[in-house]
Amino acid sequence: MRRIAISVAASTMTLSLAGCGVLGASESAGEASPTKGNDITVGLLLPETANTRYEQFDYPIFKDKIAELTSDEGKVEYANADASADKQLAQMQQMIDDRVDVIVLDAVDSSSIAAGVQKAKDAGIPVIAYDRLAEGPIDAYISFDNELVGEVQGRSLLEALGEGADSSYKIVMMNGSPTDPNAKQFKAGALSELNGKVTIAETFDTKDWKPENAEANMAEAIAAIGKDNIAAVYAANDGMAGGVIKALEAAGVTDLPPITGQDAELAAVQRIVTGEQYMSVYKSYPEEAENAAEMAVARVQGRDIQFDALARDRVDSPTHKGIPAQLVPVLALTQENIEDTVIADGIHKVSDICTAPYAAACEEIGLK
């Protein structure tokens, strides 16, 4: 069985105080206005558009859930930072000036945004860190289990290489943006699987998570290692996997090595169908975005018991300890489980994946 079954990973974080209302959540609960009804405005700050998940999944799912939770009375004020930390800080300031009721923040730069988080707090606006752990006095954090993402990628890569893999196998590692704390966790998780088993011949951090930057770095790696000596490529997400493939093809590689990804982007699912990309990581966007919406509304409406129930884990950021959190588990997405994951969750339709150029490949793996 190629499928990697990942059970709900028991969090290694402190769970003991969760739900007792002793930590962060209730500490700052007095600052929210507890009498708000459904007529609320939720600020949503997302980091970029180069990777498709944000505009395609996170934003629409979040917005629909806010509407549902507030009987269509609540509004979402949305801003996307286009990978610019300065732009995001200005967008956050605008939301503070607009006096939104709560801000859900997916930081471009988790460290420099701390100034904005502090300003929001000073203005009495709670901030919930979304997907990436922002520094500063946030109220809560919701994300996927990011270390697990890296482990799943690393394990899948070894699985694709098969039993014979040893230190003579040269791997290229394309990590994410150095300003994104998740990128470090993906990398640590992947290395915990790969270290000692294969050789990481070249490793890169990818500015702004941009596919074109990954493509340029891959061209460098090919020049250094030789196009026929690359056993596999660890690409931290799908956008970059696309860039990696372009560089390999430009160098004349016809038989692509196993390449990982993350995000279950439509183009990546199509590459998985054809076998150009070995795997992606499927993160249930409905689970993350809908639970974030619930957290935000519970926080603003002063429903502390619901809020605490949604954030039972605890995480530490570089600036704050014991932050109430929810970490959603993830799955390896390979040819074997496209139907049970992205299709079952309504993320992609078979008709979107199996367009004319992919029809034969879909047929071959029984996707219809």
Query: Do the Cβ atoms of 140 and 129 come closer than 8 Å?
Result: yes
343, burial (CB in 10 Å: exposed 0-12, middle 13-18, buried 19+): middle
Contacts with ligand GAL, 22-51, as mask; x by CB under 6 A:
--------------------------x--x
Decide if 360 contacts 266 (C-beta within 8 A).
no
Q: Binding of ligand GAL at residue 139 (CB under 6 A)?
A: no
Backbone angles phi and psi of 105, in degrees to 5: -120, 120
Least spacing, CB of residue 357 vs ligand GAL, in Å: 25
Q: Which stretch binds ligand GAL (CB under 6 A): 92-100, 162-170, 174-182, 343-351?
A: 174-182
Q: Does 237 bind ligand GAL (CB under 6 A)?
A: yes
**Quick one: three-class SS letters along 87-114?**
HHHHHHHHHHHCCCCEEEECCCCCCCCH
Residue 256, both tokens: 């692509």
Q: In angstroms, rounded to a whole number, what is the distance separating the alpha carbons of residues 165 and 152?
A: 17
Which lies closer to ligand GAL via its Cβ, residue 265 or residue 308?
A: 265
Q: Are strands 280-283 and 330-333 parallel, antiparallel or unpaired?
A: antiparallel
Q: Which range binds ligand GAL by CB under 6 A, 16-24, 175-183, 295-303, 352-360?
A: 175-183
Cβ closest to ligand GAL, residue 26 vs residue 56:
56
Helix axes 59-69, 285-300, angle to 10 degrees: 40
Closest CA to 216 of 172, 150, 281, 168: 172
Residue 76: both structure tokens together: 């979402």
Among 139, 145, 202, 263, binds ligand GAL (CB under 6 A): 263
Residue 209 in the binding site for ligand GAL (CB under 6 A): yes
How many chain residues bind ligand GAL (CB under 6 A)?
12
Report in angstroms how near the CB of residue 219 gets to ligand GAL at its nearest.
Answer: 21
Nearer to ligand GAL, 6 or 365 (CB): 6
Query: One symbol per residue from 47 to 86: x for binding ligand GAL (CB under 6 A), - otherwise; what is it?
Result: -x--x-x---------------------------------
Does 131 sit near ligand GAL (CB under 6 A)? yes
Residues at the contact surface with ligand GAL, assessed by CB under 6 A: 48, 51, 53, 131-132, 176, 180, 182, 209, 237, 262-263
